């Protein structure tokens, strides 16, 4: 049979059509993370004006209609005719990929946007966009929608103001949910204000009726105070350093008594959640400085066999901000990781500066070194305990937990593990699964709260041992991603208070001890239906499975009371195998939520508050939020 594949099958997408066709390539995804990335792009443009000395005020409005308005008092977008596009420059920027003034250092010496893609992507993925430019004593306006021009450039008359205003609302045809989270927007605005001394950012939250103003004269030194305000620190003041040569680098760090660590890194004010060359240089430089200082302190070195980077960073809270001119290179449009070749330079600068600090601040140096030595001793004690367990079990064959119903496939790209609550749900799940690629592990009740437990208690817990053996990677410092046995891991618990609690405990365990599985997209929350609704239509019975109260109410609008019978599922064991398969386990028909980390700081704070060792924080949280609870499942 002759091939029908011809030139007619090749599509040439013009303008911003590629963005609407494949939005994930430009903003990561179309979930909440991608939605808020639109705001980030608009804010970054305004901040770039501030970084280059043209703007000192930014005003953000979160509209009650889910629109965003970002106004700055910068130079305003040019509106003259562009020599290449033959359109006005504002329209060219808003409707063309790879257009902008940041490809060279002529207009922007420092910038977080280097691809000329950001704001045009926001336009492409917005239901509407209005742009105002105030420059040379005149205000101009032009409207757009879904990447296309909707009006010509209009002269609105004279003005004494200058700057740019961008108003947009995300397109519901693209995003699953177009509701912005004011807390995320305020946190981003606050971080930008910390990083740019002299800049004032105001957030007018019309959803909640609040106005917040962020202005920090001490910059990232105010940032570190904010980060450690509820933690116990080991020195009187943080280490702060500012370097400005061919590379601008500013950093501040403080050690705390907790075992958690937090490093917030930025490149040209863009938050690099995935790290990169500047983070690597910072970590290596810090570790080298500590090692070289300790080599001069023989009494300290005798306490431990060796110091690792993890020992140095235990309990550390740090902010790193670099500004690179010209050769800034991010990995992908979402700019989560810095690829610019500055690691050696950052490492040298940080190493020299921190070693000099230790040498000239003896009291602080002794406190820091003692903190690091304690971390190293704890690590060594943990290693010896693990070795002891291994020796005791060396003669026994490593087996999987007895309750695990494993699958026959060993292909990572297709295998799935369902973690279920109790033997009843385990029995139904084992009957409902596809034995070829789906495994089921029933857990007994609520697992240990690892946020509060000691390392020894965690190690001895049978349910955690079972999880660790099933998944195969090991936990904590001995996590080995290459040994992962299942490509997808589903937490499948009952839709009641106990089920939600177990899900939370499991998420805590994965976040604290197998975090890479979350970061690489392997962890999911199964979404079993809440109700089975039987309806009678023309003397025929039909079954409907609904997953929310809203869906239930919508369905019931079409039937009288006599025509329906409603069953509320509170436990997976209440479903028969066929129901469980169709609604929760079959890849073709099930629903599931992929677990992601949108903001590491907020996630860490949530675990500490809700599951940590301080009941007072939990009590305060309940008091503050009890009024917002709309439904309690008793």
CB atoms within 10 A of CB 264: 22
Q: State yes or no: is 480 an active-site residue.
A: no
Residue 5's contacts (CB-CB under 8 Å, 6 or more residues apart) are none
Question: Which 8-state DSSP code applies to residue 519?
Answer: H
Judging by beta carbons within 10 Å of its beta carbon (0-12, 13-18, 19+), is residue 86 exposed, middle or buried? exposed
Question: Which 8-state DSSP code applies to residue 300?
Answer: H
Helix (H) or strand (E) holding 322: strand 316-323
Tokens (6 digits) for 206:
């019309």
Q: Which of 48, 139, 421, 579 is catalytic?
A: 421
| Residue owning tokens 């084992």 | 430
| Pairing state between β 592-594 and 523-526 | antiparallel
* Residue from 609, 603, 607 nearest 625 by CA: 609
Q: Which of 494, 579, 599, 608 is catalytic?
A: 494
Tokens (6 digits) for 301:
């070195």
Q: State yes or no: is 139 an active-site residue.
A: no
Residues 507/436, Cβ–Cβ less than 8 Å: no
Burial string for 588-624 (b: 16+ CB within 10 Å, else e) reads eebebeebeeebeeebbebbbbebbeeeeeeeeeeee
Count of alpha carbons within 13 Å of 226, Cβ hemisphere only?
16
Q: Which of 212, 366, 380, 496 is catalytic?
A: 496
Give alpha helix (H) positions in 393-496.
Answer: 422-432, 455-460, 462-471
Residue 426's contacts (CB-CB under 8 Å, 6 or more residues apart) are 403, 405, 420, 440, 441, 442
Residue 272's contacts (CB-CB under 8 Å, 6 or more residues apart) are 265, 266, 278, 279, 330, 335, 336, 337, 338
| Residue owning tokens 């606050």 | 190
Count of alpha carbons within 13 Å of 380, Cβ hemisphere only?
12
Alpha carbons 264 and 191: distance in angstroms, whole number? 10
Judging by beta carbons within 10 Å of its beta carbon (0-12, 13-18, 19+), is residue 72 exposed, middle or buried? buried
Residues 380/386, Cβ–Cβ less than 8 Å: no
Q: Which of 498, 551, 574, 586 is catalytic?
A: 498
Residue 176's contacts (CB-CB under 8 Å, 6 or more residues apart) are 30, 31
Q: State yes or no: is 311 an active-site residue.
A: no
Alpha carbons 316 and 290: distance in angstroms, whole number? 13
User: Would you mind telling me the total number of residues written for the chain in this entry?
Assistant: 634
Residues 606/512, Cβ–Cβ less than 8 Å: no
Residue 254's contacts (CB-CB under 8 Å, 6 or more residues apart) are 224, 227, 228, 233, 235, 238, 239, 316, 317, 318
Q: State yes or no: is 421 an active-site residue.
A: yes
Tell me which residues are annotated as active site.
421, 494, 496, 498
């Amino acid at each position: 049979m002759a091939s029908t594949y011809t030139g007619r099958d090749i599509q040439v997408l013009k303008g911003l059509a590629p963005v609407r066709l494949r939005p994930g390539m430009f903003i990561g995804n179309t979930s909440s993370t991608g939605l808020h990335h639109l705001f980030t792009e608009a804010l970054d443009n305004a901040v770039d004006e501030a970084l280059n000395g043209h703007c000192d005020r930014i005003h953000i409005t979160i509209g009650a209609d889910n629109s965003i308005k970002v106004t700055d008092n910068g130079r305003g977008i040019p509106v003259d005719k562009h020599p290449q596009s033959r359109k006005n420059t504002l329209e060219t920027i808003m409707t063309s990929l790879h257009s902008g003034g940041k490809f060279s250092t002529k207009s922007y010496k420092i910038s977080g946007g280097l691809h000329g893609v950001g704001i045009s992507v926001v336009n492409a993925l917005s239901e509407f966009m209005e742009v105002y430019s105030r420059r040379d004593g005149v205000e101009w306006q032009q409207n757009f929608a879904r990447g296309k021009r909707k009006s010509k450039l209009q002269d609105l008359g004279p003005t004494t103001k200058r700057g740019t205003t961008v108003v947009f609302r995300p397109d519901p045809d693209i995003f699953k949910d177009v509701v912005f989270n004011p807390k995320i927007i305020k946190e981003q605005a606050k971080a930008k204000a910390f990083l740019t001394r002299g800049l004032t950012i105001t957030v007018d939250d019309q959803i909640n009726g609040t106005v917040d103003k962020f202005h920090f004269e001490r910059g990232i030194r105010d940032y570190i105070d904010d980060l450690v305000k509820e933690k116990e620190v080991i020195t009187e003041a943080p280490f702060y350093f500012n370097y400005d040569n061919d590379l601008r680098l500013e950093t501040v760090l403080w050690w705390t008594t907790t075992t958690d660590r937090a490093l917030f890194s930025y490149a040209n004010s863009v938050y690099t959640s995935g790290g990169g060359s500047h983070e690597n240089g910072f970590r290596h430089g810090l570790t080298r400085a500590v090692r070289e200082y300790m080599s001069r302190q023989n009494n300290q070195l005798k306490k431990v066999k060796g110091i690792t980077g993890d020992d140095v960073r235990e309990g550390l809270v740090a902010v790193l901000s670099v500004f690179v001119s010209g050769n800034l290179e991010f990995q992908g449009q979402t700019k989560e990781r810095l690829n610019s070749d500055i690691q050696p330079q950052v490492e040298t600068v940080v190493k020299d500066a921190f070693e000099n600090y230790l040498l000239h601040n003896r009291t602080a140096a002794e406190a820091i070194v003692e903190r690091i030595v304690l971390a190293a001793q704890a690590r060594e004690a943990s290693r010896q305990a693990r070795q002891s367990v291994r020796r005791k079990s060396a003669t026994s064959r490593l087996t999987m937990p007895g309750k695990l119903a494993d699958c026959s496939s060993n292909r990572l790209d297709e295998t799935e593990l369902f973690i279920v609550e109790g033997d009843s749900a385990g029995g139904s799940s084992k009957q409902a699964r596809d034995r070829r690629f789906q495994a089921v592990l029933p857990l007994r009740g609520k697992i240990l709260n690892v946020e509060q437990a000691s390392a020894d208690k965690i190690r001895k817990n049978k349910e955690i041992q079972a999880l660790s053996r099933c998944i195969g990677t090991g936990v904590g410092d001995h996590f080995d991603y290459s040994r992962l046995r299942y490509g997808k891991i589903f937490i499948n618990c009952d839709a009641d208070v106990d089920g939600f609690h177990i899900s939370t405990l499991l998420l805590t365990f994965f976040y604290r001890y197998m975090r890479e599985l979350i970061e690489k997209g392997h962890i999911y929350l199964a979404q079993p239906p809440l109700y089975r609704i039987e309806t009678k239509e023309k003397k025929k019975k039909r079954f409907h499975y609904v997953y929310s109260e809203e869906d239930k109410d919508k369905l019931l609008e079409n039937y009288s009371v006599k025509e329906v019978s409603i069953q509320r599922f509170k436990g997976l064991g209440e479903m028969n195998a066929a129901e469980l398969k169709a609604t929760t386990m079959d890849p073709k028909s099930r629903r599931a939520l992929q677990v992601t980390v949108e903001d590491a700081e907020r996630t860490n704070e949530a675990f500490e508050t809700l599951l940590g060792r301080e009941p007072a924080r939990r009590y305060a949280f309940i008091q503050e939020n009890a009024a917002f609870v709309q439904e309690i499942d008793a």
